[in-house]
Structure 1
Amino acid sequence: FTPKPLTVAPRMARVRVDDLDPRIGEPLVYGLMEGLPEAGYVQLPGMEEAFDAAMTVIGAETYRACHALLDDPRLGDDVRARLSAAGAITPDQLEQAEDVRTRFTTEVDAALASVDVLITPAMPTVPPTLDEATDPAKVLPLTRFLRPFNLTGHPAIVLPVLGELPLGLQIVGRKGADAQLCAVAEWMADTCPMFRKEEFA
């Protein structure tokens, strides 16, 4: 597809999320108030369940594709533990996850019926240190706001946000509207001071 610049400001809505680290939440809230004051709020009650379902689906798919590597000495201990745990996913759990996929897809489609994009933080907390990154309990929750849309197949883009910490804002568009989502991302980067633009030679 070929992205086309927007001719009018996009319609946007912020997704309400819980348990957001203040170090993430406060810069995003104030940045959005300054840059996108008209963006309202929507609820996606099934988002947490969709995250769990996405982890189930990706775990089952990864185990099916990579289980032969479990005894490979080149595999990191953390990856081996996650791959081994994925082997315990049952067909019933996978079926339940697919049911969640269907329900949450309907929920997201309904939220996008009246706006062009949905907005969420990219991560619920700041990234772990290098030492902490070997602990799956520290790493896996970082994708809490991302994986639900991997599950449904809605296109999404993360825009980096200015600040001392690595911050990002995710925008989610309608299925099949990838070109529009790219145009919205460009509009936001050009319009809102909270985003940093990288200049490449």
Structure 2
Amino acid sequence: MDWTSAAEIAEKVRAGIWSASAVVEETLARIARKNPELNAFTLVTAERAREEAARIDQLLASGKNPGPLAGVPFAVKNLFDIQGKVTLAGSKINRDLPPAVADATLIQRLSSAGAILVGALNMGEYAYDFTGENLHYGPSRNPHDLRRMSGGSSGGSGSAVGGRLVPLALGSDTNGSIRVPSSLCGVFGLKPTYGRLSRGGSFPFCPSLDHVGPMARTAQDLALAYDALQGSDDRDSAQVDRPVEPVGTLATELAPDLRIAMLGGYFVQQGTDASREALGQVADALGVQTSIEIPEVAMARAAAYVITNAESSTLHLPNLRTRPADYDPDVRDRMLAGALLPATAYLQAQRVRARFQKIVGEIFTQYDILLAPSTPMTAPLVGQKTMQLDGEEMLVRPHLGLYTQPFSFVGLPVVSVPVSGSLPIGVQIIAAPWQEAKALQVAQVLEDRGFVSAVPQF
């Protein structure tokens, strides 16, 4: 059994060409075969998956529709609660927590749409990571070159989707943790508008910046998952109560009045030839010639770091005091630095945020879509500490998020699309708040034109 997308699986399961049980068995076999090299999964929920597949098959046999994602296997970053399992969040400390009493809201929604959970995925410790390397569970690896990073912190999600273990995965994105692994692993990833999708039942990192969203092999699969994931939820106090706005089937052409610009300045000056070429190729494919700069981007990114450090350290302060040796030192030291920040620094960072929100809001009165690279380079080697960006040696771990942080800082919806090459690299399709459909539509047009591809080498 072979598949190209979640949409194909659902169509064939509903048509009776494949059974959900057969899809699950093939998926579990694929995980058993490939995961020892990719290290994408930290937990495989085989018994649950088989039970859910049998339920889907029974519904179909009785003439009932099990949902738009009927029989589609999916996996989740291990910061999402799975009923009866401990939510690790990539850490050693969380092993001591009791099992979750209920599934996370987004797991419930995908399951209600007919999708089948097959496991939990590796991640950077407490989501504070851009590399996909984990001190406790080992690095998740890039399916295009096993010597290289998957990106993080949703590294297992990128590795599992890019390696064709599953067609669909959930990740989280605080500063770029969906878009960075999507870029490095050659898959599509959606960071929705802040407050659009519920974080209920997910382990927090930085509450005022945390987003959750899907990663997939096609733009249409992202849209299918996004439609299933929408809805209000009392479990997440930050969620904005908006009506469900389904995307449905994506068109193959852009609206003629769609205004698109590529971003220059900050977004090309510190990159590599690979990131600049990918941006130029996407712009050319869309017929975009306009290039603009966003003021104060570097300041916005600096303020995002202040907020990230301050909020994460507050959350972890009890364990930082009593169990410091059980943290990855890189994670621990950044959180400790955050604990020492004065309140005035946090307040000033929030002022910068409000100012940057106005700057970006003004730009979106003139344009509907902005284009920028997802990462400044293709996947570094596992264990690589520094990288060359325009002749300057810079640390890998923080700077893989160079281009993603400014947009999560102000909660914009972004789709990362994969651009093919010897190694993949992503380009961000950035829209105004609540305009996920426009970003997904641009991603679909690029895919239909054969420009972007998520075909793995693994």
User: Out of 309, 313, 316, which is 1:59 matched to?
Assistant: 309
Whose RCO is larger (CA < 8 A, sep 6+)? 1
Q: Does 1:2 align with 2:249?
A: no
Higher alpha-carbon Rg: 2
Give unmatched runs, 5+ long, in structure 1: none
Q: Does 1:81 align with 2:325?
A: no
Distance in 1 between residues matched to 2:292 and 2:442, nearest whole Å: 19
User: Out of 295, 300, 306, which is 1:50 matched to?
Assistant: 300
Greater fraction helix: 1
Q: Does 1:142 align with 2:400?
A: yes
Which residue pairs with 1:26 in the alignment? 277
Q: Does 1:107 align with 2:359?
A: yes
Distance in 2 between residues matched to 1:114 and 1:8, nearest whole Å: 16
| Displacement after TM superposition at 1:121 (Å) | 0.3
Q: Contact (CA 8 Å) 1:128, 1:139: kept in 2 or not?
A: no
Which residue pairs with 1:196 in the alignment? 453
CA separation of 1:93/1:74 partners in 2, compared to 1, >3 Å: closer, same or farther? same
Distance in 1 between residues matched to 2:381 and 2:442, nearest whole Å: 32
User: Out of 299, 318, 323, which is 1:68 matched to?
Assistant: 318
User: Out of 148, 162, 165, which is 2:420 matched to?
Assistant: 162
| Displacement after TM superposition at 1:190 (Å) | 1.9
Counterpart residue identity of residue 8, structure 1 = A
Distance in 2 between residues matched to 1:166 and 1:198, nearest whole Å: 10
What are the within-5 Å matches in structure 2 for residues 87-98 of structure 1?
Answer: 87-98=339-350
Q: Contact (CA 8 Å) 1:123, 1:145: kept in 2 or not?
A: yes
Q: Contact (CA 8 Å) 1:3, 1:180: kept in 2 or not?
A: no
CA RMSD of aligned residues (A): 2.4
| Displacement after TM superposition at 1:198 (Å) | 5.6
CA separation of 1:84/1:127 partners in 2, compared to 1, >3 Å: closer, same or farther? farther
Q: How many residues align?
A: 197
- SS in structure 1 at match of 2:340: coil
Q: Contact (CA 8 Å) 1:51, 1:147: kept in 2 or not?
A: yes
- SS in structure 2 at match of 1:153: coil
TM-score by length of 2: 0.40
Distance in 2 between residues matched to 1:69 and 1:88, nearest whole Å: 15
Give unmatched runs, 5+ long, in structure 2: 1-244, 388-393
Q: Contact (CA 8 Å) 1:14, 1:120: kept in 2 or not?
A: yes
Distance in 2 between residues matched to 1:58 and 1:149, nearest whole Å: 14
- SS in structure 1 at match of 2:395: helix
Q: Contact (CA 8 Å) 1:154, 1:174: kept in 2 or not?
A: yes
| Displacement after TM superposition at 1:183 (Å) | 2.4
TM-score by length of 1: 0.86
Identical-pair percentage: 24
Question: C-alpha deviations, 1:128-159, integer Å up to 9, x for none?
Answer: 32112599932111111111111111111111
